[in-house]
């Protein structure tokens, strides 16, 4: 009759030490692998892609948290952007890095206002944005936000014409230093829908159901 393998406590001290060293070496190698892969990608890396790098038994979340702790007091930090991870410079060093930062064209007030509405009200259609802003939204504004990769098409509304909705991207979170949409500041300054547009006929429920909330369709 075969006997069961000895428990860790029953093993000789030398063997226990050897197993501990092997486990430590394996974990360090996994940390190094995650560190190198995230560092090599300029965009935040989805955790699903990071999980593919390591054995299925690996606790990737725990490894990432350990790696984030290692960089917490350094000039470069490991940050979470939605369900993705990236290395970014410490925001406290922003002022000293300004001379070395590329200067980009500023967005217009209209584009920033449109982006804010999409961020807080997503998924939202272009007509719904226009209702909140009180003015029309040009295709140029949406094109500019698309070029910055801050918005993307979402699902379509289940209404005549099946208008496309818009939502923000991981690049939006990354650019504005947000861990998730829950990190957005208060929405008190956002344009509000006029009272006369709400009535007993149900027009206050302007943001109707999506055709398929789990899908995203390209325009």
pLDDT (0 to 100) of residue 27:
87
Confidence of residue 211 (pLDDT cuts 50, 70, 90): low
* Residue indicated by tokens 């001290």: 13
pLDDT (0 to 100) of residue 93:
83
Confidence of residue 97 (pLDDT cuts 50, 70, 90): confident
**Cβ atoms 134, 191 nearer than 8 A:** yes
| C-alpha pair distances (Å), 167 with each of 51, 78, 103, 146, 199 | 26, 25, 26, 11, 27
The pLDDT tens digits for 15-45 are: 445 545 667 888 889 999 999 999 999 899 9
The pLDDT tens digits for 161-194 are: 888 999 999 999 998 889 899 888 875 545 554 4
| C-alpha pair distances (Å), 156 with each of 45, 47, 124, 141, 165 | 27, 28, 9, 20, 6
- H/E element holding 80? strand 76-81
- Of 125, 47, 117, 40, which Cα lies nearest the Cα of 82? 47
Instruction: State the average pLDDT over residues 60-70.
Output: 93
Percentage of the chain exceeding pLDDT 90? 46
pLDDT (0 to 100) of residue 102:
58
What is the location of CATH 1.10.10.10 in the chain? 13-94, 109-197
**Cβ atoms 191, 116 nearer than 8 A:** no
CATH dotted code for 109-197: 1.10.10.10
Could you tell me which residues are beta bridge partners of residue 78? 87
Please give the model's pTM, rounded to 2 decimal places.
Answer: 0.55
Instruction: State the average pLDDT over residues 107-135.
Output: 92
CATH dotted code for 13-94: 1.10.10.10
**Cβ atoms 40, 85 nearer than 8 A:** no
Instruction: State the average pLDDT over residues 82-105.
Output: 77
């Amino acid at each position: 009759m075969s006997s069961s393998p000895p428990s860790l406590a029953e093993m000789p001290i030398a063997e226990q030490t050897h197993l501990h060293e092997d486990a430590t070496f394996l974990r360090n190698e996994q940390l190094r692998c995650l560190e190198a892969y995230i560092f090599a990608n300029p965009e935040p890396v989805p955790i699903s892609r990071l999980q593919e790098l390591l054995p299925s038994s690996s606790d990737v979340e725990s490894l990432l948290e350990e790696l984030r702790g290692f960089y917490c007091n350094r000039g470069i930090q490991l940050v979470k952007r939605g369900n993705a991870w990236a290395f970014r410079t410490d925001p406290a060093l922003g002022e000293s890095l300004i001379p070395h930062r590329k200067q980009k064209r500023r967005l217009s007030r209209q584009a920033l206002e449109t982006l804010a509405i999409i961020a807080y009200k997503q998924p939202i259609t272009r007509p719904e944005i226009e209702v909140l802003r009180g003015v029309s939204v040009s295709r140029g504004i949406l094109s500019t936000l698309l070029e910055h990769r801050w918005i993307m098409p979402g699902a379509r509304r289940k209404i005549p014409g099946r208008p496309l909705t818009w939502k923000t991207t991981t690049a939006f979170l990354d650019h504005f230093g947000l861990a998730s949409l829950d990190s957005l500041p208060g929405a008190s300054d956002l344009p509000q829908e006029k009272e006369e547009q709400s009535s007993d006929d149900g027009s206050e429920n302007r943001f109707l159901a999506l055709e398929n909330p789990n899908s995203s369709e390209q325009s």
